[in-house]
Chain A
Amino acid sequence: MAESMQLCNISDNNFEQCTKCSICTTVCPVAAVTTDYPGPKQAGPDGERYRLKDPAYYDKMLKLCLNCKRCEVACPSGVHIADIIQQARMTAGQGKRASLRDTMLANTDLLGTMANLVAPIANAALGLKPTKLVMDSMMAIDKHRTFPAYSRTKFETWYKRHAASGQEAMPHHVSYFHGCYVNYNFPKLGQDLVKLMNAVGYGVHLLDKEQCCGVALIANGLYKQAKRQGTVNATSIRRSVKEQRRTVLTTSSSCTFNLRDEYPAILDIDTSDVRDSIMLATRFIYNLVDEEEIKLIFKQDYKRRIAYHTACHMQRMGWQIYSIEMLRMIPGLDLVELEQECCGISGTYGFKKENYERSQAIGSTLFKSIEEAKVEAVATDCETCKWQIEMSTGLPVENPISILADALDVEATRRANGLK
């Protein structure tokens, strides 16, 4: 009786369990660079008590939250601080229309589809100084930013033309949620995954229907559209896992976190029955090697020094250990694990003019540690961290899957796994 009373007294977002220790505020990258943001304790559990009393206590400065989730990772009491803040923003934003700029930044797939059609023109135009200045002044997209280049051929198109026919013959099978970045900007990452999985006997399949996971829609307050797209994805993922018995692999930490955790927490889409079968490819591959189900053979002459950056959502998922340990399997790779700091971009946040300076200030500690690491490249599982680090340090940034594919001796690996 007493026990159940205690349990009944805890809200879904467990804000009552905050002990006011302030540890979350000590790790907040936004509070570290601006006094405008009240910090996660104040914005989250403290503010929630006021907001429950009267919604008018909502503080508009909550829009400065990056949703990096570092407060939740640091909290010794397991309070879902960032969820509290996200939900407060969602409640306060109801009935308001997102600006053209936010709608454009959020619709990564719509933008991608249009840009792919005219990729060379779009890339050239987006890179031009006049275009940047117009975007800066008319749309408040900061002029320092470079839009990621658009690919001429979508990953899905490449897959259907060059890869699809060979997949069924493989002994094992997985599905691949490629995400907008791989589809429109960087198909090579998807191609690397197909190459890697095929070399160890796994056929890679697209989902019935894949839409943008919606991480940028949520960040820009377009919840209804996010929920619509999320429902389509959840249906496709469920069919892959339940009917086709295929695990769904991903190569973006933010898409993965969104599909697994934000769908139920923010969008109220229940994915609990398939959650365990949605995972980053690095986790899947590491586990296969660890369980001695597959073998990876690496090139003899491979030699590089690379720093690993843990993206915020990767840290929130707690999966950096898989990417790091997978990279450490490569004999010629000298891996430096960087201190876990936010790079400051947080998806579309850093693209907005009003956030540019703050975004760079947040990332400055990370950029300095990358410089000090004296490496030739940086590895990370997040595409927006990649843009930010490339722009801010000048070093190339690669996904661990691409690094693994590059270091792999494909023929020797195929033979070692019993493939012809």
Chain B
Amino acid sequence: MRMDTVIMGGGLSGLTCGIALAKRGKRVAIVASGQSTLLFNGGSMELLGNIDGKAVNAPLEAIAALPQDHPYSKIGADRIAVLADEARQLLADAGISMEGSTARNHWRITPMGIAKPAWLTLSDHLRLDDLNNLPAKRVALMCIRGFFDEPNGMLEHGLQGLGLEVKKVEFTTDDITALRRSPSEMRASSLAKHLTSNNALKRLAEQINTLAGDADMVLLPSVLGQNDDSDVQMLQGLVSKPLRLVATLPPAVAGMRMQTLLRHYFRMLGGNYLMGDTAVSGAFDSDRLASVTTAKLGDMPLKADNFVLATGSFISRGLRADYERVYEPVLDLDVDADSDREQWTRFGVLEPQAYMRYGVATDGNLHCLKRGKPINNLHAIGSVLSGHDAIKMGDGTGVSLLTALAVAHDILA
């Protein structure tokens, strides 16, 4: 089967790159082995959140000072602002409405109640632009009875630490109580599926309006809007005070919404999304990749002019490790990783971990390297790239979006 471009990996970077190419009329296939880590995303994108443990205020300036091996440096620090605007537009075109600025980070609130720097946050989720000028004085934190995915006490404590007066309100509705019959159903994604009818949303709004008291903002766990933001907008219309969603533990409804909308947009543009398939090997023709074989398409490999590796990091199996080495499992590409296993990890789970920076080795144009030589029609994008650290630097989603767009431009040039 012949395509213009074949993308291995169907998460944030793969879909972004696929959309950018399909929009320009290219025939694109995305091979997506299962759902992606986007489902762990609580509704925010970040460009650069931290340097050496300190929060970054102005990400563009900080990016200019990053080392040469960081993916942003390879794209070119001067292009970041333009690509970031383009990414935001692409998300908006897909129906994902987000707010924020590249000039100055805002704060997102994690389910544990910790404020972390972010670039974009979903318009219906809690966002703090300035910790010295909070959007509310008193907030009502609506806690769903029996709900698994929100550690309410920690969230309350965290919000109080930021200077908010928090009124914790436990509540339920008939629709929610019905779900408690099955203990495994009290998860964010299950609630989002069951709280979709107009009547269920009206009952939810009634409870909130009755119990929110004198708060000037209502916070509700992110349990609405799995496919788009229409349910949230309806609830916001029914609640008398400003209402914002707060991130829950994963799988996150916000991430599911973003994944669904991006995939839908890609399909609308004529893209082929091969859900549940996995690239298993490739055939090389001197310095080019000629075709990729997948588990499901079997003896009919995918041929293309260009290939993109967007298979993610260890958690998505884009990188693997055994007792001897770290490796890239599909094409056995060169990886940047310590050969000494002792160096991979450090004691203390919250300490910076070297393996988080491991990834596929690339040249200055993000072409993958195999035995030291660049493969001229194979780029790597997103979390599979080396030289960045999504956890400690807060640059994961930004690297995914921006490397995807930079590579799409390179392919289209």
Q: Residues of A with Cβ closer than 8 Å to B?
A: 2-3, 6, 21-23, 25-27, 31-32, 35-39, 41-42, 72-78, 276, 283, 286-287, 290, 315-319, 321-322, 324-325, 337, 339-340
Contacts and interface: CB of A to CB of B under 8 A. Distances in A.
B276 A318 contact: yes
A37 B184 CA distance: 9
Given A35-B182, A39-B182, 12 more contacts: A3-B322, A23-B39, A25-B184, A32-B193, A38-B184, A76-B33, A76-B37, A76-B317, A287-B300, A318-B296, A319-B297, A321-B274
B267 A337 contact: yes
Contacts of A283: 300
A73 B1 contact: no
Interface string B23-60: 00000010001111101100000000000000000000
A287 B260 CA distance: 30
A38 B183 CA distance: 8
Given A22-B189, A290-B2, A276 B298 contact: yes
Which 5 interchain pairs have the tightest Cβ spacing? Answer: A318-B296, A73-B276, A76-B34, A26-B189, A35-B182
Contacts of B34: 23, 73-78
A325 B272 contact: yes
30 contacts: A2-B323, A3-B322, A21-B39, A23-B34, A26-B39, A26-B189, A31-B190, A32-B190, A35-B179, A35-B182, A39-B190, A42-B184, A72-B276, A75-B35, A76-B315, A76-B317, A77-B34, A276-B299, A290-B1, A290-B2, A316-B276, A318-B275, A318-B296, A319-B296, A319-B297, A321-B274, A324-B272, A325-B1, A325-B272, A339-B267
Contact of B35 (A2, A23, A35): A23
A419 B194 CA distance: 58
B251 A26 contact: yes
A39 B182 CA distance: 10
Interface range on chain B (Cβ under 8 Å from partner): 35 or more
A22 B187 contact: yes
B277 A318 contact: yes
Interface string B282-297: 0000000000001111
Interface string B315-327: 1110000110000
Given A3-B322, A286-B1, A25 B189 contact: yes
A110 to B, nearest CB: 33
Nearest to A32: B193
A315 B276 contact: yes
A344 to B, nearest CB: 14
Interface in B163-189: 178-179, 181-182, 184-185, 187, 189
Contacts of B194: 32
Nearest to A26: B189
B74 interface: no
B275 A73 contact: yes
B221 to A, nearest CB: 16
A155 B29 CA distance: 37
Contact of B29 (A36, A38, A315, A321): A321
B272 A321 contact: yes
A76 B184 contact: no
B325 to A, nearest CB: 11
B296 A339 contact: no
B297 A318 contact: yes
B374 interface: no
B256 interface: yes
A47 B37 CA distance: 25
Interface string B215-229: 000000000000000
B370 interface: no
A35 B251 contact: no
A168 to B, nearest CB: 27
B276 to A, nearest CB: 3
